[in-house]
Structure 1
Amino acid sequence: MVSFDGLLYLVVFYATLALAVWAFVDAMIRPAAGFIAAGKLTKPGWMAITGIALLVLLWMQNPLSFLGLPAVIASVVYLVDVRPAVRGLRRGNSNW
């Protein structure tokens, strides 16, 4: 029988893993010039940060560990600060 604590831990782990995947994929699809234009760290820098965060979460399998928590924070910082700045820049007359 699965305990409530175990189920809650699985939900937290998979939610943080999905967050890290989202941050990495989003950093991968954004144009490199947008990062510079927004005054943020370069695209390879953010891809490295989010990629390492994803690998740490997969390796540790504990988002609340000594290395897991900074990995989650790095993904959240990208999604909350960098993504809106880069996403707000549009190329040409495109509606995307």
Structure 2
Amino acid sequence: MSLDVWVVTGLWILGIPVGGYAFIHALRQRSDAFTAAGKLTKNAWLGITGVALLLLILITSGPMRSGAIFWLAAVVAVLVYIVDVKPAVVGVQRGDQRW
């Protein structure tokens, strides 16, 4: 196997626990913090991260095969939550004035 296949397979394996973390984090946050941060509602993010986690688990053939577009969409959704939504929600709950 070539290096790019190893890298993508490693990212695929890491995507499942990261997706689980994003879903559990969204589940444990207050509902009002999402709207106060100017993000989609808690239920919307639970749906997005939940479906993304389900896709990451169900695409057992890996991202280099037929489910690549769904795998990529799931990874992007999870990363958007972790990079954008999570810091904003945590900041609102902590009382940061930046949000």
Question: TM-score range, shorter-chain basis?
Answer: 0.7 to 0.9
Provide the TM-score with structure 2 as the length reference.
Answer: 0.79
Count of paired positions: 90
Quote how far apart the aligned CAs of 1:8 are: 4.8
| CA RMSD after TM alignment | 2.0
Q: Which runs of 5+ in 1 are unaligned?
A: none
Q: Distance in 1 between matches of 2:41 and 2:2?
A: 42
Quote how far apart the aligned CAs of 1:4 are: 7.2
Question: Hey, what does 2:29 align to over in structure 1?
Answer: 30
Question: Hey, what does 2:17 align to over in structure 1?
Answer: 18
Is 1:48–2:50 an aligned residue pair? no
User: Among residues 70, 74, 90, which one is paired with 2:73 in the alignment?
Assistant: 70
User: Among residues 76, 79, 82, which one is paired with 1:79 in the alignment?
Assistant: 82
Q: Which runs of 5+ in 2 are unaligned?
A: none
Q: Distance in 2 between matches of 1:9 and 1:44?
A: 30
Q: Measured at CA, do residues 63 and 31 of structure 1 come closer, stay the same or move farther in structure 2, by a change above 3 Å?
A: farther
